[in-house]
A and B are shown apart, each in its own frame.
Chain A
Amino acid sequence: MYDSIILRNVSRLMFPILLLLSLFMLVRGHNLPGGGFIGGLVAASAFILQIIAAGPTYVRTSFQINFLNLAAFGVIFAALWGLPGLVTGEAYMLAFWLKEPIPGIGKLGTPVLFDIGVYLTVIGVTTQLALVLAEEPTLYPIQRPPARPNATAPEV
């Protein structure tokens, strides 16, 4: 979108770092500032940086992610982890935790998985929004081939 070789190269370097940062934010969220929403925004900004630096088509072709589906999946994934409560006859979204913490990740429970759903939804929604805007033809007109002159033009 913005033709700058510096931006393009820097953003390519930044991308994995930003994604890692977002995962870091997601994982540490339960005990320190962070969480699914913040992590999701960081990851989305990583993608949006790519959109601005290299264009939406680049993002679509190199990542092969349908962000609309990702957002929908996130919502369903989050909703899914409320179900164990219903199955056991308790309230929807009652939390369940593993007894022992998993090394390197910490305690694992349904709220953490729910948070992952939030994370995916935020990534999907925000990035898809940026894509929709960046691809909007009234804002960024498509270079259409010139119409073939008088192919089937009605005679007036």
Chain B
Amino acid sequence: MLVLIVLTALIMAPLGLFARYEPRPVIGWVLALAPLALFVVISALAPEVLAGGRLEQVIPWVPRMGLELRFALDGLSMLFALLVSGIGTLVVLYTAYYLAGDPGMGRFYLTLFIFMGAMLGLVLADNVLTMFMFWELTSVSSYLLVGYKHDYPSARRGAQMGLLITVGGGLALLVGLVLLGNVAGSYTISEILAAGEQIKASPFYTPAMLLIFLGCFTKSAQFPFHFWLPNAMQAPTPASAYLHSATMVKAGIYLLARLHPTLSDTPLWLYTLTGVGMTTMLIGAVVANRRDDIKGLLAYSTISKLGTMVLLAGMGGPEAPAALVATILAHALYKGALFMLAGAVDHEADTRSLAQLGGLRRAMPWTAALSILSSLSMAGVPILFGFVAKEEQLYAAVDNGLPPGLDIVVLVAVVTSAVFGVLYSWRLVSGVFFGPRGSGMKEHVHEAPAGMLIGPALLTTFSVVLPLGLLPATATLLQPAVNAISNEGAKISLYLFPSEIGLPLILSMTALLIGAVLTRFEPQIVAAPSPLPPWLNGDRIYDAAVDGVLRGATAFTRTLQNGRLRSYMTWSVLSLVAVVAPPLLFFGFNGLALPTLDGVEPFEFVSMLLIPIGVIATLQARTRLGAIIAASFVGLMVAYIFVIYSAPDLALTQLLVEILTTVFLVLLFAVMPASFEPLTAPAERSRDGLIAVIGGLVFAGIAFAASSSTELSPISQAFRAESQSQGFGDNVVNVILVDFRGFDTMGEIVVLFIALMGIYAMLRLRPGAGLARDDAETPAQPASPEAPAPQGNGQPGRPTPKEQEAPVAGKGR
């Protein structure tokens, strides 16, 4: 069942391509049925989870590596899965109207469904490796969605930035998860959690956790990696609402919550998450007030809330799990709605700048009403669900698990972010819908199509209705999620108003009040200097880093691949020697006797002596042809040695390779000047000679060590014994090639083919030269003017009979 949930979305993906045809709204409605069905199915599973159950499904994948597709549904997974499928339904519907008329809509749906499947897989996975696979898939689909408008450099930059940062963090995460799995002895999440004490006692706990934090912080846009999220706002608004606010960016929070039950409760966890979460929360809240772009404002407010969630996951205390779950739900509800509404405003008014917008409440009354309600929820104004969640946050902050001193700091920070939350909520509503009519908008602004308002309307309704009587039911629904996060049996109880007036309520009201007062000073606050020093600009650091990597890579490539064959040879030989020589020197010669000349026949000795003579002749040759002949002589002598020692297969192969090598060399060298010209200084030549000698010695050493080792019995005996019985062949060499080691041969012919592709591309597909000859590949038109017959070496060779027959139209032009 659980696998089917994940697979359904992935299988739906290609169907999304149908959205390129008309009538699009209808297709959008039909497509939205899929996530709706998933939502219904997950809801149908809910009673079992609510009763404290846990659904599991395992499909073995690579059993020997401990890889399996293991899925489980518990309270936390269910909360996220419901959000992913529920908001997914609304987003799919919204897209049909938002992107109406856009030719790439099919592609957008394709990626959106891939993301949906990946995100469902991520939250349902019960194996860290399965989870990681889906984790990376969400990064990739986010990349494709942010880069949807790939004609724009800013979209490409935003996409690449998000990808590099989240996937870079993903790499760290993978290492962390593998460390965790190795310590726990299992990659199953439930077993890792069961081994919590053992992991915490292990020396790998700190590195593993730090790496996992890195993965979570990059994914969930925590300071100092937060800057990719505003840049990801280049995505079409449905993707921003879905990925970059409601679901994907919460993946990091999800993982932290998942590991919370047994792996938290250490100073490392407490201080890292509290510090990073608090910083992110404050920076996001402050910077959101300096943004002019409404999507940018919403992005920074999202960063702020993600910081709040990390803080709640980190700081401990009895109320924190409940507050975390309530915040996740509240945020998904109001932020998903606000993003979609911002998209509607952008769609109709054709601008997202607060400076250019204004007074839209008359032109877009429904959008205005929904935005006001959702913004009130974002500001935490009473009787909306955002207020309930903020109450929970303040409860948790008052009763946190931090040491004295620090607990006050956290409390003040939470209140401060609430104050700024009021301010940016007010800016959003007043800037777009109130005041004089904006200057930069379209001439006639209309209300957004009803299809674009359905989603935000539903989400806003939840924000409004849940606190009005549905709070006990909501708490019941969220309790399993709290159980999954908390190790102390925390209880969630949501109140619209607490029975007694305590510190949290006073703080909440104070925040509202201060926020309301601050709205009077909005211009000053917007114009205030940035809270971050100018050098701490993530965008700029990112650009510098990417630039530096590219420049470094260029410099590295220029040094290593300078187009001179001799320097390629130098680097290849040197790196081989560097890798092979140390183990050879340390271990290769243990217990080996020096070879003796006993039993070597005189003619064998002479043939061996001829090889070095051939090598010297090659080096001394004055002409290219002479060098080729001398080098071939060396090869032939080697083949002869194979014959002497009865290795006919090797001898045959060596002989043929030698012949063909000579042919290729002649083909290349025939057109070059007959004699060599010295291009290098004598000192350089001595250096190259030394490298060559060292390389030769190392390989001679390997050959010697391999053939004279007495410690290991040679594998050839086993092969010889089994060649006839197992491989049905008398020729052991060939049986090894095609049967015993057939997979190696497979690899070799693939390498051979890749080499051909490389040479072909280099000679035929390079710009300019050889391009004219491409159609010579189709032998049907050999004499077309673009592909005249090649003539050997510039000399007009006698045309072959075929060429004489063929019309030589090209010659006349």
Q: Which residues of A contact B (CB under 8 A)?
A: 1-3, 25, 29-38, 41-42, 44-45, 48, 52, 54-58, 60-62, 64, 66, 68, 71-72, 74-75, 78-79, 82, 92-93, 95, 97, 107, 109, 111-112, 114-115, 117-118, 121-122, 124-126, 128-130, 132-145
Contacts and interface: CB of A to CB of B under 8 A. Distances in A.
Interface centre among B752, B777, B782 (most CB of A within 10 A): B752
A10 to B, nearest CB: 16
Given A30-B735, A33-B731, 19 more contacts: A25-B652, A29-B734, A30-B728, A35-B649, A57-B776, A57-B789, A60-B776, A62-B802, A75-B753, A111-B729, A112-B738, A114-B745, A115-B738, A125-B756, A132-B760, A133-B763, A134-B790, A141-B794, A145-B812
B727 interface: yes
Contact of A118 (B663, B738, B739): B738
B802 A34 contact: no
Size range of the chain B interface in the assembly: 35 or more
A130 B663 contact: yes
13 contacts: A1-B793, A29-B731, A31-B730, A35-B738, A36-B737, A45-B659, A55-B800, A60-B782, A61-B782, A114-B738, A137-B773, A137-B790, A145-B812
A20 B667 CA distance: 26
Contacts of A107: 728
A44 B660 contact: yes
B747 to A, nearest CB: 11
B788 A143 contact: yes
Contacts of B727: 95, 111
B800 A58 contact: yes
Given A34-B652, A38-B652, A48-B663, A109 B728 contact: yes
A34 B734 contact: yes
B749 A133 contact: no
B656 interface: yes
A138 B773 CA distance: 12
Report whether over half of chain B's contact residues are helix, strand or loop; otherwise say mixed. helix
B798 interface: yes
Nearest to B649: A33
A68 B663 CA distance: 19
B730 A140 contact: no
B802 A57 contact: yes
Interface stretch (B171-179, B293-301, B546-554, B764-772): B764-772
B795 interface: yes
B605 interface: no
Contact of B734 (A54, A115, A140): A115
Contacts of A124: 756
B663 A142 contact: no
B782 to A, nearest CB: 5
Contacts of B667: 130, 133-134, 139
Contacts of A145: 785, 810-813
Nearest to A55: B800
A126 B792 CA distance: 20
Given A3-B797, A33-B649, A111-B739, A128 B802 contact: no
Nearest to B779: A60
A131 B627 CA distance: 24
